[in-house]
Amino acid sequence: MDHLLELLADHDDASVLAGGTDLMVEVNLHGRRPGTVIPVGGLEEMREWNHRPRSNSVTIGAALPYSDMERGPLAELLPALAQAARTVGSPQIRAAGTIGGNLGTCSPAGDILPVLAALDATIHVLHRDHSRDIRFADFMTGVKRNCLTPGEVVHSVTVPLTRGWQGYAKVGTRNAMVISTASACLVHDAEEGHVALALGAVAPTIVRAVKAEAWLSRQVDLRGTFRVSPETAHEFGLRAASETSPITDHRSTAEYRRHAVSVLARRLLERSAS
Amino acid sequence: MSIPNDSLNESYSLNVNGTLREVRDAWLGESLLYVLRERLGLPGAKGACEQGECGSCTVIMDDRAVCSCLVMAASATESRILTVESLGENGRLSDVQQAFLDAGGVQCGFCTPGFIVAVHHLLDQNSDPDDEQIKEALSGNICRCTGYGRILDAVKVAARGRRDGVGS
Amino acid sequence: MSVVTGSSTRFGALGSNANRPDGNAKVQGGFAFSSDMWAENMLWGATMRSPHPHARLLSIDASEAWKIPGVECVVTADDVPGLPNYGLIMQDQPVFARVGDTVRYLGEPILAVAADHPETCRRALAAIKVRYEVLEPVTDPERCIDGSAPPLHPDGNVFRHQRIVSGDQTIIGEIQVEGTYEIGMQDQAFLGLEAALAVPDTGGDGVELYIATQWLHEDRKQIAACLGLPEEKVRLVLGGVGGAFGAREDISLQVHTCLLALRTGRPVRISYSREESFFGHVHRHPATIWMRHHADAQGRILRIESRMVFDGGAYCSTSPAVLINAITHTQGPYKCENATVDGWALRTNNPPCGAMRGFGVVQACFAHESQMDKLAAATGLSPVEVRLRNAMETGDRLITGQIMDSVAPVERCIRETDAIPLPPPMPMDANELLVPGGTGLTALPSNIRRGVGWGVSIKNLMYSEGFDDFSTARCRISNGAVHVKFATAEVGQGFVMLAQQIARSVLGVDDVYLDPIDTQVGSAGSTSASRQTWMSGGAVDAACRAVRDELLDRVATARGLVRQELRIDGTDIVDALTGTRIAVAEVIGDHEIDHTVEYHHPATEDLDENGQGNCHVAFAFVAHRAVVDVDPDLGLVKVVQIATAQDVGRVLNPLSVQGQVEGGIAQGLGLAVMEEIIVTDGKVRNPSFTDYLLPTFLDAPTVDMVLIEEPEPKSPLGAKGVGEPPCVSVTPAIANAIRNAIGRELPRVPVRPYDICL
């Protein structure tokens, strides 16, 4: 790890290579010439995940492949993450691609990112000369932009474990292997009495629907189990969608994206309440 | 490990199908797919999209089925790589290869090697998959000719053979 | 599936599931596709393409590219020694755009380079400076009809304008239904990308080209003309073809690869990337079709009016023939003699369009089958009943005046499809993979609505309008073995297997050797138009019969038997007089026999100015019933089941027919709900498999099929082509099923999520 950080600090043309599923697309299709490539897939500490009962959290190595999140004990701890991981690309992509890659690329359509936003994940960043912990909300700064500075690498991600339902949903125009047209992750914290909702592919960054979250808290007591009326769920969806600023492109229209996240938000809330 | 530079002067070795293979005078940007096909004489993996959206280039790398077009070859020096050419023994067909022929799963054949590798990987993990598990496991392999019906049959034939103790 | 595989069928003969001769190599990864071709001392080629849909090419400066180590050659329009243009029907497409001339679509070739490595090629292209004067693109084909568009080419902006004026033009139906339908631009998206290896002759006066194509001889004709070489100096060998579906009918990299090889004196390979492939071949025509049906109160069609506008893009390709197919199939598989149809195929600055599986009939069928459901609704009949009431039969007069003289089991196709059981409703605890949206977990079964829809179609077989369509095959017995040779492009459909089956059946042998597929024998015509089983199958059959007849002549003479009493049964020659059986294997070692035969189908005619004429050879029919699950709130669709009954004449290889039917259905499904090349201002927005979506395993429906075997008397083997019909009417069947589920008109395909839910 130290050697890696040395290399990263010394080469300003460096790219960190984990699964390769983003970097190699750039090389194959967009004429990118890899400068200094620093493979991290072989670093065991970056491919591990750890449950930390004391802090009631899970720390996930940046080079852990998606397929390792889809099932097994990690999936039981973080079902929304497992659901999101299962929608990434193809099985082959999931066997190679990593959470660090999703964070490094920071596409608004990144499948894992709404989960990190809804769970208030902390990103651990290392540099030869320093380290820092960044809240996801501060990490992603725009379309394919993040706050990493030269020489820094995402080492791992910590997400708190909450008691309560969590779920993820993603819309694409094919029944498998598709880029998100719109996505959403909802996390119910039954102890705090709060619902967090994060929306993907509907703005330059992942959107936390904070106004809709706050509105819901005023309508419904969210401690423990709760119920919502169809009208409340519907309005929750509409309010969440109004916090987005989607675009029209070749994959869909702004109007559809806004509509789709409202439906996803409504359905996720209904699932969390039933 | 660091891989600097930008010209045709990379040299490294890859563990492919159980043999250490030397790669010389390569460009750093070459994918594992390119190196297998153009430098190591292993054309079985096919390229059809260069971005992991078709599965034609599927190989096994450290017991995972991956798209070789998205593996930077020079970064794979520590990995065990298996290609379609490693399947079957002494030129005989593997159970999956035979099942693809028996069930009519081959038309143009361009997607076939990628499918064969992916199906071997699937059945090595789960010899009794149901239809939906088969479809999800193979949802990263595009076939444009068959509509997948004969391929589904082929996988079921091969799986049945393994459960009945026939084949490999 | 009702297919004949009786125990009397000898393994490997006609009617059996014979082994594919290329099967072992394909499953082992050893089959050599054109992209696998390699030669000692080989260079890589690459093409520079226009970044503008319409521009004047001002200058090319390649001086910096020549300075890059490893760059061996740069060729432009100035280096084309023969004809500057090529084309299947109209020679209007430049090999390279010429300085001073215009480029007419985004992706038009400007020049090509050859170098020692693909990356060197990329750098060479990046170093070449090309200047353009950007011009306003013409992207609306209507502007070519109203004359407001400037002429985009010396040959004009109209590839073809054809009317059909048939029968009584004054009929006004008690019931009228009408609609305007749009079909998006679909890509063939074969998996095996365009690739070719050109090897120059020593001395440089000829070239050998290993190429994935649908029609070797037509390629050779066009290549030789552009190279300024006699045809015999250009030899083509079929490189392994990774699917075709129409996209390999036109020239793409053929001339470029040969030019680079001849210039450098070294073998050159060009392999397109997926992105380049989207620019390198023609697509299915986007079309706008208006139709009005006049019917009586009982729902019988009395007259059809239609206007069809096909956007052919920048160059002609096969646009005129596609248009003729579309307008002559306006009526669908239904009785009607009265029609007024106005069809246009036009030039714009959009990507060139041409052949794709279904060839114009796909577009017409989406319109007429959408209309049939409207007619059903207007008359209160079920979708099945309205189609049965109008079902075409042999002997009917078509709107072209042609009499339907093919076997036409339309009613049977519909009834047999209708008899296939519907799938059970989705259970409330269904696996998430069965719900629209799949692993996206967008919906629960309770969110879903089911719909059922119908599509029935007629598809012409083989080439039309007076084209002298033929195929050539050679069969010989030599050194005790049977050899068959043909130039038929094997693109995946399994003709190589069929040829062996025919030879085994006719000659009574088990081993049949296939010679290389190349231009060293006469033309086979194109692997398209559902024609090779009939045409090349007919040629192989005729060549094998000629050999068999001579063999029997000789056996009769040598053994003093009566020739007329000899026939081949299984693997024996049988003398009907004595019952004597002689194994074919026993006698063929004594004879050297060699016959080459051309098979021609019955002649057809051009259409006259009113669209009248016997322009088609034969027809096949198919019915599709689609069951879909729709999420009405999100607009997501999962096709659950396609039931189909197809008129196939005779099943020659059951698994192959099944594979063609299932594969065609998947492509039709793609057009129905996801596949579209999106073009804005002449620019393709989604030239990749990330954004041009093909059906995956999880999108493919269950297919339940009945194959209707009523042998076609005109067909040499009794079989009809089975390749195209499956993808023609499945698209409207799915669209009609979605309409049935949600009650919207949905006038275009692909149906997008927002068409359903917004």
Q: What ipTM does this complex have?
A: 0.96
Residue pLDDT, tens place only, A16-61: 888 888 889 988 888 888 888 888 888 899 999 999 999 999 999 9
Question: Which of A108, A133, A160 is the last residue in one of the domains?
Answer: A160
Q: Do A240 and A145 reside in the same domain of the chain?
A: no
CA distance C154 to C371: 39
In this structure, the answer to whether residues A14 and A150 fall within a common structural domain is yes
Q: Is A181 on the interface with C (CB under 8 A)?
A: yes
Specify whether the backbone of A155 is left (phi greater than 0), alpha (psi in -120 to 50) or beta: alpha
- Spatial neighbors of C189 by CB under 8 A, at least 6 apart, are B144, C245, C675, C689, C692, C694
Q: How far is C276 from chain A, CA to nearest CA, in Å?
A: 10
Q: What are C356's two structure tokens? A: 């794709």
CATH at A122: 3.30.465.10
Interface check A95 vs B, CB under 8 A: yes
Domain count, chain A: 2
Q: Select the residue of C433, C691, C758 nearest A256 (Cβ to Cβ).
A: C758
Q: Tell me the three state secondary structure of residue C548.
A: helix
Alpha helices in C265-360 (DSSP H): 274-280, 319-328
Residues 19 through 78 of chain B touching chain C, CB cutoff 8 Å: 27, 29, 34, 37-38, 42-51, 53-54, 56
**B139 to chain A: which residues are within 8 Å by CB?**
90-91, 176-177
Q: What is the model's pLDDT at position C3?
A: 41
Q: In Å, how far is A215's CA from the nearest CA of chain C?
A: 24
Average model confidence (pLDDT) across chain B: 93
Q: How far apart, in whole angstroms, are the C-alpha atoms of residue C74 and residue C259?
A: 10
Domain of residue A18: give its range: 2-160
CA distances in angstroms from B109 to A168, B101, B106, B151, listed in the order given: 37, 11, 5, 12
**Is the distance from CB of C52 to CB of C58 less than 8 angstroms?**
no
- Claim to verify: residue B101 and residue B65 sit in the same structural domain: no
- Name the nearest CA neighbour of C723 among C533, C486, C540, C536: C533
Domain-ending residue, one of A160, A180, A201: A160
> Cα-atom radius of gyration of chain A, to the nearest Å?
18
Spell out the residues 6+ positions from residue A185 whose beta carbon is closer than 8 angstroms to its own: A80, A84, A114, A115, A117, A118, A119, A166, A167, A168, A197, A198, A200, A268
Which contiguous run of DSSP H or E holds residue C636? Answer: strand C636-647
Same domain assignment for residues A204 and A152: no
User: Looking at beta carbons, which residues of chain C come within 8 Å of B72?
Assistant: none
Would you state the structure tokens that stand for residue A30, as one six-digit string? 């967009």
Q: Considering only CB atoms, which chain B residues are within 8 Å of A19?
A: 70
Q: What pLDDT score does C8 carry?
A: 60
CATH number 3.40.50.720 given to C401-462+619-758: no
Task: Determine the distance in angstroms separating the CA of C274 from the nearest CA of chain B, rounded to an integer.
Answer: 5
Whether A131 and A173 map to the same domain: the answer is: no
Indicate the length of chain C as a whole number. Answer: 758
Tell me which of C197, C697, C702, C703 to substitute to probe the interface with B (most B C-beta atoms closer than 10 Å).
Answer: C697
Task: Residue C703: count other Cβ atoms within 10 Å of its Cβ.
Answer: 24
Same domain for B59 and B34: yes
Given CB atoms, is A23 within the 8 Å cutoff of chain B? Answer: yes
Question: Which residues are registered as beta bridge partners of C209?
Answer: C198, C236
- What are the per-10-residue average pLDDT scores of chain C (758 residues)? 52 96 97 96 98 98 96 98 98 98 98 95 96 98 97 97 97 98 98 98 94 98 98 97 98 98 98 97 98 98 98 98 98 98 98 98 98 98 98 98 98 98 96 96 97 98 95 97 98 98 97 97 97 98 98 96 96 95 94 98 97 98 98 98 98 98 98 98 97 98 98 97 97 98 97 98
Return residue ranges of chain C for CATH 3.30.365.10.
401-462+619-758, 470-600
Chain-chain contact of B139 with C24 (C-beta, under 8 angstroms): no
Is B20 in the same domain as B75?
A: yes
Chain A residues closer than 8 Å to C443 by CB: 267
> B51 with B102, same domain?
no
Helix, strand, coil abundance in chain A, percent, nearest 5: 40, 25, 40
Indicate whether A185 and A151 sit together in one domain.
no
pLDDT in tens, C134-177: 999 999 999 999 999 999 999 999 999 999 999 999 999 999 99
Q: Are residues B16 and B40 in the same domain?
A: yes
- What is the distance between the alpha carbons of residues C53 and C683, in angstroms, rounded to a whole number? 7
CATH code, domain with B27: 3.10.20.30
**CA distance to partner chain A, nearest, from residue B74 (Å):** 10
- Listed in sequence order, the residues at least 6 apart from C183 whose beta carbon sits closer than 8 Å to its beta carbon are C284, C285, C286, C287, C289, C362, C363, C366, C671, C748, C749
Range of the domain at B20: 8-84
pLDDT, residue B153, reads: 98
Q: What is the pLDDT of residue A49?
A: 97
Quote the mean pLDDT of chain A: 95
Instruction: Tell me how far apart the alpha carbons of residues A199 and C216 are, in angstroms, rounded to a whole number.
Output: 53
Residue A174 in contact with partner chain C when CB distance is under 8 A = yes
Q: Chains touching chain C at 3 or more Cβ pairs under 8 angstroms?
A: A, B
What's the rounded Cα separation, in Å, for the pair B143 and A189?
44
**SS3 state of residue C233:** helix
Nearest residue in chain A measured CA to CA from B133: A91
Q: With contact defined as beta carbons under 8 Å apart, do C531 and C463 qualify? A: yes
DSSP assigned state of B39: I
- B100 and B79 fall within a common domain: no
d(C-alpha C325, C-alpha C462), whole Å: 11
Interface check A178 vs B, CB under 8 A: no
CA C639 – CA A140 distance, rounded (Å): 38
Across the interface, of A32, A34, A90, the residue whose CB is closest to B52 is: A90
Rounded Cα–Cα distance for residues C261 and C233 (Å): 14
What per-residue confidence (pLDDT) applies to C576?
95
Residues in CB range of C411: below 8 A, 6 or more apart: C388, C391, C393
- Residue ranges of alpha helices (H) inside C179-253 are 216-227
Region label for B152, one of left (φ > 0), alpha (ψ between -120 and 50) or beta (otherwise): alpha
- Of C74, C448, C62, nearest to C263 by C-alpha is C74
Is residue C256 classed as helix, strand or coil in its secondary structure? Answer: helix
* Whole-number Å distance between alpha carbons of B28 and B4: 8
- Position C326, amino acid: A
Residue B4 is predicted with a pLDDT of: 36
Q: Give the domain CATH number at A185.
A: 3.30.390.50
Q: Which residues contact C147 (CB under 8 A, 6 or more apart)?
A: none
Does residue C687 sit in helix, strand or coil? coil
- Residue-level pLDDT at B166: 57
Give A-chain residues touching B1 at CB under 8 angstroms: 38-39
Q: Which residue is closest to C276 within chain A, CA to CA?
A: A29
Amino acid (1-letter code) at residue C5: T
Q: Does B113 touch chain C (CB under 8 A)?
A: yes
Give A140-187 pLDDT, tens digit per residue: 999 999 999 999 999 999 999 999 999 999 999 999 999 999 999 999
Distances (CA, A) of C411 to C374, C385, C645, C651: 20, 10, 10, 20
Give contacts of C439 with chain A, Cβ < 8 Å: 83, 86-87, 176
Whether A54 and A134 map to the same domain: the answer is yes
Question: Is the domain of A59 the same as that of A174?
Answer: no
Provide the number of CB pairs (under 8 Å) joining chain A to chain C.
91
DSSP code, position C689: T
Is the CB of B75 less than 8 angstroms away from the CB of A24?
Answer: no
User: B75 and B126: one domain?
Assistant: no
Q: Is the CB of B110 inside 8 Å of chain C's CB atoms?
A: yes
User: Which residue in C has a C-alpha nearest to residue A181's C-alpha?
Assistant: C753
DSSP tag of B50: S
CB C69 within 8 A of CB C215: no
Phi, psi of C15 (to 5 degrees): 95, -15
Looking at the structure, do residues A87 and A22 belong to the same domain, yes or no? yes
| CATH code (residue B108) | 1.10.150.120
Residues with pLDDT less than 70, chain B:
1-6, 166-168
Q: What is the pLDDT of residue C51?
A: 98
Helix (H) or strand (E) holding B113: helix B112-125
A241/A245 Cα distance (integer angstroms): 8
Count of structural domains within chain B? 2
State the pLDDT at residue C1.
40
Q: Are residues A171 and A101 in the same domain?
A: no
Measured CB to CB, residues of chain C less than 8 Å from chain A are 122, 126, 273, 275, 433, 436-444, 447, 633-636, 638, 673-674, 678, 680, 685-686, 688, 690-691, 693, 695-699, 752-754, 757-758
Sheet with C339-346, strands from edge to edge, namely C158-166, C339-346, C301-311, C287-295, C175-183, C748-749
Q: Are residues B18 and B79 in the same domain?
A: yes
Give me the pLDDT at residue C2, please: 39
CB contact (8 A) between residue A24 and residue B69 = yes
The residue of chain A nearest to residue C439, with distances taken between CA atoms, is A87
Q: Which helix (H) or strand (E) holds A133?
A: strand A131-135
Using the Cα atoms of residue A192, residue A194, residue A200 and residue A204 in order, give the sign of their dihedral: negative
Q: How far apart are CA C192 and CA B90, in angstroms?
A: 28
The CATH number for C470-600, chosen from 3.40.47.10, 3.30.365.10, 3.20.20.70, 1.10.10.10, is 3.30.365.10
Domain boundary among A160, A177, A192: A160
